[in-house]
Structure 1
Amino acid sequence: MRLYNLLATALLPLLALAAKKPAASTFDTYSSRSFPIEVDESSYDAITHAPRDYWTAVLLTARPAKFACQLCREFDPEWKILASSWQKGDKNSASRVLFATLDFDNGRNVFMRNQLQTAPVLFLYPPTNGPDATGSGKEIRMDFLQSQSAEQTHAWILRQLPSDPATPYPKLVRPVNYGRIVASFMILIGMFTFGTVAYPYILPVLQSRNLWAAVSLIAVLLFTSGHMFNHIRKVPYVQGSKGKIIYFANGFQTQYGMETQIVAAMCT
């Protein structure tokens, strides 16, 4: 009997190790991946099916060149910046938001199911249970009439999410563009080198009284002839009437662009 008890006690750790671990939730499974998650039809259905206690932002797009979707290709890097920035700033996935991308080649049936004729389209699926549940859990749609920036899309998503001062949502942080920094530095070095070499030749020109007299004369003619009036009011250059071209406007409250040039030539 004692031997049986000893064997049972020795087997307890082995039985504990052999016990199956509880299955991870859908959110835990996908939140551990790099955002935005590239999904297909099956994984799209997995992260958007009900019930769910998390938010899902899915970009339906068509990036390959064969689809000629310029907006898709323009927004793709902005979407990646937004999703990656959100994941880095969301400690322990406190906001419970998934970011995913579904390309047309991987989700034709999803496009047909949602009756989409254009791309890209952003769907935001709210939770169906939990404290932030919206009841039906119907998706919120964002259409792209023009190119969107990561900042604009980030602001749109924040407007849909519930406000909670205790757990602020991640801010958008763009990665440092080292290529632009190096390019700007090289341009500055080039400008400095050019200025150093050309200085002996440029200085006499800048000190020329004739040059500054010509510049002053042009400025006087522009301002006295009404150029600023035309620029502010955006007046027409000439006007047509009964098959004729009119260069001078009637009255004292308006004028045409050609009239300004004629007055300037007369003053010269």
Structure 2
Amino acid sequence: MLLSHLTTLLCTVGIAFSAKPAVDKFQRFQSLSHPNPVDLNDATYNEITAAPRDYYTVVLLTALDSRFGCALCREFQPEWDIIAKSWNKGKVDDVKLLFGTMDFNNGKETFQKLMLQTAPVVLLFPPSIGPSATPDGSPFRFEFSGPISGDQLYTWINRHLPDGPKPPLVRPVNYMRVASAITLLLGTVTLFTVASPYVLPVLQNRNIWAAISLVSILLFTSGHMFNHIRKVPYVAGDGKGGISYFAGGFSNQFGMETQIVAAIYGLLSFATIALALKVPRMSDGKSQQVAVVIWGVVLLGVYSFLLSVFRAKNGGYPFFLPPF
């Protein structure tokens, strides 16, 4: 029995001593990765990813040297540093996670062993022991198909971690952008203060706003947005060697047709405005009568032409006016 108890005691001590290096290894690398990710080489990469491990490890395999021409590597490196700093500065006691970066110059053997032909590549190693361990312990691989943001990779990492609260991704304050925004705001306020005596009378002019409103109404009622959405042709052939300016059917139109209809609506508008505002203010009675006749003929002729356009687009349209 003494021999049996001694054997059990030695096994227990052996297990305790075998588990201790894994804990010490996590604490040691965690102290090196606060707040930036650990710079790895072939030896430290093998050490940080070796089993047994009761922690997660995320490693970025990159090639930052300008000789390799990896623009994506250099572009993503600041995003990777933000991810590591956000996690290391956040306090999550339930999840053990280490971040490491291995450049090609420091890990050529590892790149060859993994048969990597492109960079950057992110590997996430789950624990090999503990409740979150995977059966085979093989890493999850994230390959870059193009430029991505740190938020996308951070979301992918969190999907492979246990459920629970995670540190938010915190981006550093861009003081240059803040200074630029303040300078732009001050410049805008200064410009408005200096130019307001000249600009405000223009903005408060009723005739200008009336003209803008009228032009906008003419554009949209004539089908300007329809042309942009449908990408309609400007004109089309009529099948007889000529040009057709109006498309058949009320659901079709040409670019030239829009301009013609806008001109018709514009003439009708100006004729109506002249009869309503200008003619009553004329002091000479004969001139007033002549103006009424002229604008009345314009209204009749232009509106008659508009109805003929409707009949040309749809033969079943029942209305018309002479002379068209």
TM-score range, shorter chain: 0.7 to 0.9
The separation in 1 between residues aligned to 2:73 and 2:159, in whole angstroms, is 23
The 3 A distance-change label for structure 1 pair 253 and 77 is same
The 3 A distance-change label for structure 1 pair 75 and 255 is farther
Superimposed CA distance per residue, residues 74-113 of structure 1 (whole angstroms, 9 cap, x where no aligned partner): 221111111101000035x542101111122222222222
Q: Which runs of 5+ in 2 are unaligned?
A: 1-19, 267-324
The separation in 2 between residues aligned to 1:221 and 1:266, in whole angstroms, is 9
Confirm or deny that 1:99 pairs with 2:94.
no
Task: Give the number of aligned pairs.
Answer: 241
1:139 deviation in Å?
Answer: 0.6
Q: Which moved more, 1:114-123 or 1:79-88?
A: 114-123
Confirm or deny that 1:28 pairs with 2:27.
yes
- In the alignment, which residue of structure 2 is the partner of 1:173? 170
The 3 A distance-change label for structure 1 pair 188 and 256 is same
Confirm or deny that 1:54 pairs with 2:55.
yes
The 3 A distance-change label for structure 1 pair 250 and 128 is farther
The 3 A distance-change label for structure 1 pair 131 and 258 is farther
Which letter maps to 2:73?
C
Confirm or deny that 1:147 pairs with 2:144.
no
- In the alignment, which residue of structure 2 is the partner of 1:82? 83
Which letter maps to 1:136?
D
Which letter maps to 1:51?
P
**Whose helix fraction is larger, Structure 1's or Structure 2's?**
2
The 3 A distance-change label for structure 1 pair 39 and 195 is same
Confirm or deny that 1:184 pairs with 2:181.
yes
State percent identity of aligned pairs.
50
Q: How does 1:177-216 map to 2 (within 5 A)?
A: 177-216=174-213
Higher relative contact order structure (alpha carbons within 8 Å, sequence separation ≥ 6): 1
The separation in 1 between residues aligned to 2:37 and 2:264, in whole angstroms, is 66
- Aligned partners of 2:95 and 2:162 also within 8 Å: no
Q: Which runs of 5+ in 1 are unaligned?
A: 1-21
Which letter maps to 2:249?
G
Which letter maps to 2:191?
F
Confirm or deny that 1:264 pairs with 2:249.
no
3-state SS of the aligned residue for 1:123?
A: strand
Which letter maps to 2:26?
F
The separation in 1 between residues aligned to 2:167 and 2:258, in whole angstroms, is 55
Superimposed CA distance per residue, residues 177-222 of structure 1 (whole angstroms, 9 cap, x where no aligned partner): 2332222112111111111111111112212334223311221122
Q: Which has the larger radius of gyration?
A: 2
Superimposed CA distance per residue, residues 25-46 of structure 1 (whole angstroms, 9 cap, x where no aligned partner): 2211111123211212221111
TM-score, length-scaled by structure 2: 0.66
Confirm or deny that 1:70 pairs with 2:51.
no
The separation in 1 between residues aligned to 2:176 and 2:212, in whole angstroms, is 39
Question: RMSD of aligned C-alpha atoms?
Answer: 2.8
The separation in 2 between residues aligned to 1:252 and 1:265, in whole angstroms, is 19
